[in-house]
Chain A
Amino acid sequence: MYNFDYVRPSSVSDAAQALSNNTDASLVAGGHTLIPTLKQRLAQPSALIDISQLAELKGIRSDGGNIVIGAATTHAEVAGSADVKAAIPALAELANGIGDRQVRHRGTIGGSVANNDPSADYPAALLGLGASVVTNRGRYDADSFFTGLFSTALHPGEIITAVHFPIPDKAGYAKFEQRASRYCLVSVFVAQKSGGIFSSGETRVAVSGAGQNGVFRVAEMEQALQGNFSPSGVSGIKVSSANLMNDMHGAADYRAALITAMAERAVGAASA
């Protein structure tokens, strides 16, 4: 690692100030993506602004049909939260499958969402549940937040403060791991909610791990599930492999087949 200054702000506004004063600075929370990157010297921030211990970014609460999770909440905290388990068990299960237990004790939802790794778990949940990303400057729908590989709608200096997850009627998650890294080779999050709280339709299907541009929704599956929310509803639907990742861990056609398989399982888990 190149050396850098370590800054521990006392509030989000402090952190924002520090960021704006130093354009080469990076935020760090759990650091489980950033620190390995720094070890390889693939980045050279002048300072790391550590927001992992800011109380205003931590915690989980139920709020008018939403589960609100502070950005610096760890994966283990989400996985173990009674509120999350009661309201959106699929979300707790997803958090419980990220990395390993020691990673989950440090990694945070805000860090994962801001990084938008195409193989990460959380983007599928955000898109699949129609979540909102709240920052120190505003609010984004998941549909407009994830803009491509490792890129989001966040502006320089903008800090995620929380993620709001609408509580669905049912939701399910199924993940097929890349065996070495334990990231998603393909994962699918499905959710359904009557009353149309989701911005488009009542059923959402989001895929992580597979898309060349990161997480994406599968409209054909969403429509099919709208009428028949059962594994058989999606078992005949195959996503085109044209825009899927194609690498040594999984060719595009294999990933396409896994999307169908994981969608079936996610629906099955949600139905159960």
Chain B
Amino acid sequence: MTAQGIGAAVKRREDFRFIKGDGKYTDDINLPNQTYCYFLRSPVAHAAIRNIDISAAQSAPGVVAVFTGADVDASGAGGVPCGWLVTSRDGNPMKEPKHPILAVGKVRHVGDPVVAVIAETLEQARNASELVQMDLDELPAVVNMKSALQGGSSVHEEAADNLCFDWELGDQAATDAALAGAAHVTKLDLVNNRLIPNAMEPRVAIGQYAPGTEDYTLYTTSQNPHVIRLLMGAFVLSIPEHKLRVYAPDVGGGFGSKIYHYAEEALVTWASKHIRRPVKWTSDRSEAFMSDAHGRDHLSHVEMAFDADNRIIALKCETLANMGAYLSTFAPCIPTWLHGTLLAGQYVTPAIYTNVKAVFTNTVPVDAYRGAGRPEATYILERTISKAAQELGVDQAELRRKNFIQPNQFPYQTPVAVVYDTGDYEPALNKAMELADYAAFEQRRAEAKSRGKLRGIGVASYIEACGIAPSSLVGALGARAGLYEAATVRVNPTGSVSVLTGSHSHGQGHETTFAQVVADKLGIDIGNVDIVHGDTDKIPFGMGTYGSRSIAVGGSALVNALDKVIEKGKKIAAHLLEASADDIEFANGAYTVKGTDKSKAFGDIALTAYVPHQYPIETLEPGLEETAFYDPKNFTYPAGTYICEVEIDPQTGSTQIVSFSAADDFGNVINPMIVEGQVHGGVVQGVGQALMENAVYDDNGQLLTGSYMDYTMPRADDVPSFKVATLAGTPCTHNPLGVKGCGEAGAIGAPPAVINAIVDALKEYGIDHIDMPATPEKIWRAINAQPRMAAE
């Protein structure tokens, strides 16, 4: 490890612009002659559109154009596409109703865009929108998943029973048999609460059309500009990809919500051609609450079977997953292939069966949010195993230890399709227990009790699947795209390096970590490396950043491209050093003839490649630039154990997190400082889900938590500082860096750790479960055994 290379806690290079206010986010971009778009959205959850009268708005001051769904339809534009096809257990494809850019015929959720008003100023656009007459015939709203499936009102004609798909995985017969013969079965009904991602930067889209060249540019807040280019160009607007540039500059957080292709992006791009002027849309936060895809929203029934020796023998899980009103880009894959496949967790479980029914409702579409399916799976497992420990009268940590897959069992084929390549789970459990001072917990519980407070401790051992995944496999599972990544290493004549990567950085620090990989491999100073991302006109076709895939997939592509550069450099060096290429070694930035002191610096080779005066020109092209596409061989499987300790005030029900300890195995680590930062952030999102965050709809489909006044975001004074340990771990066996990915672990492992701690604190009241979010009122009610009155 060098001071700048792989494994070093290098300070981030991108920080300078952010701490000085010099970041360039999409809303900071203003184009000459730009117009502003305001979306008039549905105020109701479900209605037939009788008529939309835009005439008054069209003649309002400053208005340039007003568009409805009919205008978009008439132009031949397609709907917003879904990128993943899930097949039901009866062999039928999922129901896939059209998702129009602007509503046609019906509105299907509060916030569904209906009219786009474009004017000289945003204020004029908004003023004009108030002159639009929307004549809506309100229909019964479908809000609750269980009643949605019982018929009545339908969100889409194509799915009269509101069922999108009915999917299964695993061996039902074996699982049922094991449950029937079990010594003990733990049963649990779980709510995985609906969350609103809330990246701090609201979404922005600016469409620009150049009549002279017929080129389009979309500036957008995206985690994956090429995915947007592909989806919008090919499926929505029929724009040839070579005529469409998608540029996502600095992006203020994503957490999944900026993966998807959204209607607003398509509309501003489409409209920019109609009016021949740039069209800018900036979401405000209230709008974000009802138009950014939401996350989670599962209801599950779990049964976990144990033999007489407390070994897990089966797991059965039935889940309802809310899709919302339309299928967002990756929505169908979240509760299925990113969820069911993780239900083995860290445990040897011989039989697993899961059934997932996906349901349309008159709510905002639901898609991946940090963790995406894996938090839900982990919550199911880790809540259930702690409840089982309580029922069996054994320690929750030791019950986990007893059931861990052992190091000598890897590669481990789970009963739910995936093969874990490597892992070793006890060191993380031990480290977390040490950090948490687990052994002395009962003394702390007693001390708290003397102050009238209830202390509890909760353990959660998570596994996740990152670096999604072999294209051939995901294709077989329904993905409508490949999931490789691309990198170009462009060595400049003077020896500096530009890396063009399909991975997108919106907080992850790629400009530092990817440069570390280059510095490490080429032996050059990190200051001579530039990481370019986000602009489809600059970078090779790449799939972007989500699912903790950047270093595992994008980093691997980078390594392969670097290897090609090094190999070509060997040939050039061999020529200059008058040796055979086989005799050239590359290390520490220099090419050396083996066993001699004859050597050429990397910079000399670069210069020679571009000034090929002395060059093997007959056998080798000039220049030094290589591209690699990397398609992973498997997922990676980070794992770890988190331990949360809480103190509850029984009088008010409020919970304070007094300590949180995390021990993770991420395989090899490029930059431990950045990795720990990812864990901190993920943990607080997980704590937010467990304690406070909740998207609440009323029976009419109105979003009651539509702003920060009502949707509780974790703040600095809600959480403590954390104890985080990144273990030496078990390097991934199938990618060149041995890395696994770390972006989502915190959000996956934290919720069950927190809830397990709360239930542990409350066990003296005979409480064996509490739903997320465990608000003070919910805890107070559990302690006082008070059912809640219907709220107004």
If A247-B791, A251-B791 touch, whether A257 touches B713 (CB-CB below 8 Å) is no
Q: Mark B697-723, 1 if CB is under 8 A from A, else 0.
A: 000000011001111110000100000
If A181-B710, A254-B780 touch, whether A176 touches B791 (CB-CB below 8 Å) is no
Is A40 close to B, CB under 8 A? yes
Is A86 close to B, CB under 8 A? no
Is B123 close to A, CB under 8 A? yes
Q: Which residues of B contact A272 (CB under 8 A)?
A: none
* A224 → B minimal CB distance (Å): 18
For chain B, residues 706 to 763, give those with C-beta under 8 angstroms from any C-beta of chain A: 708-713, 718
Q: Which residues of B contact A254 (CB under 8 A)?
A: 777, 780-781, 786
Residue from A179, A247, A253 within 8 A of B786 (CB atoms): A253
Residue from A2, A176, A179 within 8 A of B692 (CB atoms): A179
User: How far apart are the CA atoms of A155 and B331 in the complex, in Å?
Assistant: 55
Cβ–Cβ contact B652 & A246, under 8 A: no
For chain B, residues 606 to 652, give those with C-beta under 8 angstroms from any C-beta of chain A: 651-652
* B285 → A minimal CB distance (Å): 10
Is B788 close to A, CB under 8 A? yes
Q: Which of A3, A180, A258 has its CB near the most chain B CB atoms (within 10 A)?
A: A180
Cβ–Cβ contact A181 & B709, under 8 A: yes
Is A250 close to B, CB under 8 A? yes
* A112 → B minimal CB distance (Å): 16
If A179-B692, A261-B651, A261-B652 touch, whether A252 touches B712 (CB-CB below 8 Å) is no
Is A85 close to B, CB under 8 A? no
User: How far apart are the CA atoms of A41 and B652 in the complex, in Å?
Assistant: 37
Q: Nearest CB to that of A252 among chain B residues?
A: B789
Cβ–Cβ contact A181 & B792, under 8 A: no
User: How far apart are the CA atoms of A50 and B651 in the complex, in Å?
Assistant: 44
Cβ–Cβ contact A251 & B652, under 8 A: no
Cβ–Cβ contact B789 & A253, under 8 A: yes
For chain A, residues 175 to 208, give those with C-beta under 8 angstroms from any C-beta of chain B: 176, 179-181
Is B286 close to A, CB under 8 A? yes
Q: Nearest CB to that of B126 among chain A residues?
A: A41
Q: Which residues of B contact A3 (CB under 8 A)?
A: 123
Q: Mark A72-86, 1 if CB is under 8 A from B, else 0.
A: 000000000000000
Is B696 close to A, CB under 8 A? yes
Q: Mark B764-792, 1 if CB is under 8 A from A, else 0.
A: 00000000000111001100101011011
Cβ–Cβ contact B792 & A246, under 8 A: yes
Q: Which residues of A contact B705 (CB under 8 A)?
A: 180, 248
Cβ–Cβ contact B652 & A176, under 8 A: yes
Q: Which residues of B contact A181 (CB under 8 A)?
A: 708-710
Q: Mark A231-252, 1 if CB is under 8 A from B, else 0.
A: 0000000000000001111111
If A176-B652, A246-B789 touch, whether A251 touches B711 (CB-CB below 8 Å) is no
If A3-B123, A176-B652, A180-B713 touch, whether A246 touches B791 (CB-CB below 8 Å) is yes
Cβ–Cβ contact A179 & B780, under 8 A: no
* A107 → B minimal CB distance (Å): 15
If A246-B791, A248-B704, A251-B791 touch, whether A180 touches B709 (CB-CB below 8 Å) is yes
* B792 → A minimal CB distance (Å): 5
* B39 → A minimal CB distance (Å): 15
Q: Nearest CB to that of B691 among chain A residues?
A: A179
Q: Which residues of A contact B789 (CB under 8 A)?
A: 246, 251-253
Q: Nearest CB to that of B711 among chain A residues?
A: A180
* A4 → B minimal CB distance (Å): 12
User: How far apart are the CA atoms of A1 and B126 in the complex, in Å?
Assistant: 9
* B694 → A minimal CB distance (Å): 9
Cβ–Cβ contact A180 & B777, under 8 A: no
Q: Which residues of B contact A253 (CB under 8 A)?
A: 786, 789
Residue from A251, A257, A261 within 8 A of B788 (CB atoms): A251
* B693 → A minimal CB distance (Å): 9
* B590 → A minimal CB distance (Å): 55
Cβ–Cβ contact B696 & A40, under 8 A: no
Cβ–Cβ contact B652 & A258, under 8 A: yes
Residue from B126, B710, B781 within 8 A of A180 (CB atoms): B710
Residue from B286, B777, B784 within 8 A of A40 (CB atoms): B286
User: How far apart are the CA atoms of A261 and B123 in the complex, in Å?
Assistant: 47
Q: Which residues of A contact B652 (CB under 8 A)?
A: 176, 257-258, 261
Q: Which residues of A contact B284 (CB under 8 A)?
A: 39
User: How far apart are the CA atoms of A219 and B708 in the complex, in Å?
Assistant: 35
User: How far apart are the CA atoms of A3 and B708 in the complex, in Å?
Assistant: 25
* A220 → B minimal CB distance (Å): 19
Q: Mark A247-270, 1 if CB is under 8 A from B, else 0.
A: 111111110011001000000000
Q: Which residues of A contact B126 (CB under 8 A)?
A: 41
User: How far apart are the CA atoms of A210 and B382 in the complex, in Å?
Assistant: 37
* A188 → B minimal CB distance (Å): 12
Cβ–Cβ contact B712 & A251, under 8 A: no
* B38 → A minimal CB distance (Å): 12
Q: Nearest CB to that of A250 among chain B residues?
A: B777
Residue from A1, A176, A180, A257 within 8 A of B712 (CB atoms): A180
Q: Which residues of B contact A39 (CB under 8 A)?
A: 284
* A110 → B minimal CB distance (Å): 22
* B692 → A minimal CB distance (Å): 5
User: How far apart are the CA atoms of A251 and B709 in the complex, in Å?
Assistant: 17
Q: Which residues of B contact A248 (CB under 8 A)?
A: 696, 704-705, 710, 791
Q: Mark A40-56, 1 if CB is under 8 A from B, else 0.
A: 11000000000000000
Q: Which residues of B contact A179 (CB under 8 A)?
A: 692, 712, 718, 775
Q: Which of A41, A254, A257, A261 has its CB near the most chain B CB atoms (within 10 A)?
A: A254
User: How far apart are the CA atoms of A261 and B651 in the complex, in Å?
Assistant: 7
For chain A, residues 142 to 180, give those with C-beta under 8 angstroms from any C-beta of chain B: 176, 179-180
User: How far apart are the CA atoms of A257 and B692 in the complex, in Å?
Assistant: 20
Q: Mark B74-90, 1 if CB is under 8 A from A, else 0.
A: 00000000000000000
For chain A, residues 24 to 51, give those with C-beta under 8 angstroms from any C-beta of chain B: 39-41
* A25 → B minimal CB distance (Å): 20
* A86 → B minimal CB distance (Å): 27
Q: Which residues of B contact A247 (CB under 8 A)?
A: 791-792
* B423 → A minimal CB distance (Å): 37
Q: Which residues of B contact A180 (CB under 8 A)?
A: 692, 705, 708-713
Q: Which residues of A contact B123 (CB under 8 A)?
A: 1, 3
Q: Nearest CB to that of B284 among chain A residues?
A: A39
For chain B, residues 123 to 143, give those with C-beta under 8 angstroms from any C-beta of chain A: 123, 126-127
Cβ–Cβ contact B780 & A257, under 8 A: yes
* B156 → A minimal CB distance (Å): 29
* A45 → B minimal CB distance (Å): 16
Q: Which of B711, B776, B777, B781 has its CB near the most chain A CB atoms (within 10 A)?
A: B777
User: How far apart are the CA atoms of A251 and B284 in the complex, in Å?
Assistant: 30
User: How far apart are the CA atoms of A2 and B777 in the complex, in Å?
Assistant: 39
Cβ–Cβ contact A249 & B286, under 8 A: no
Q: Which residues of A contact B777 (CB under 8 A)?
A: 249-251, 254
Q: Which residues of A contact B692 (CB under 8 A)?
A: 179-180
Q: Which residues of B contact A2 (CB under 8 A)?
A: 127
For chain B, residues 68 to 112, give those with C-beta under 8 angstroms from any C-beta of chain A: none
User: How far apart are the CA atoms of A110 and B788 in the complex, in Å?
Assistant: 37
For chain A, residues 127 to 143, give those with C-beta under 8 angstroms from any C-beta of chain B: none
Q: Nearest CB to that of A241 among chain B residues?
A: B789
Q: Which of A179, A249, A252 has its CB near the most chain B CB atoms (within 10 A)?
A: A179
Q: Which residues of A contact B713 (CB under 8 A)?
A: 180
A residues within 8 Å of B by Cβ?
1-3, 39-41, 176, 179-181, 246-254, 257-258, 261
Give 16 new A-B contacts, CB below 8 A, not counting A180-B711, A251-B788, A257-B780. A2-B127, A3-B123, A41-B126, A176-B652, A176-B654, A179-B712, A180-B713, A181-B708, A181-B709, A248-B704, A250-B777, A251-B789, A251-B791, A252-B789, A253-B786, A257-B651
Show 27 residue pairs from A and B whose CB-CB distance is below 8 angstroms, ordered by the A residue.
A1-B123, A41-B126, A176-B652, A176-B776, A179-B692, A179-B712, A179-B775, A180-B692, A180-B705, A180-B713, A181-B708, A181-B709, A181-B710, A247-B792, A248-B696, A248-B705, A248-B710, A248-B791, A251-B777, A252-B789, A253-B786, A253-B789, A254-B777, A254-B786, A257-B780, A257-B784, A261-B652
The 3 A-B residue pairs with the shortest CB-CB distance, nearest first, are: A180-B712, A181-B709, A179-B712
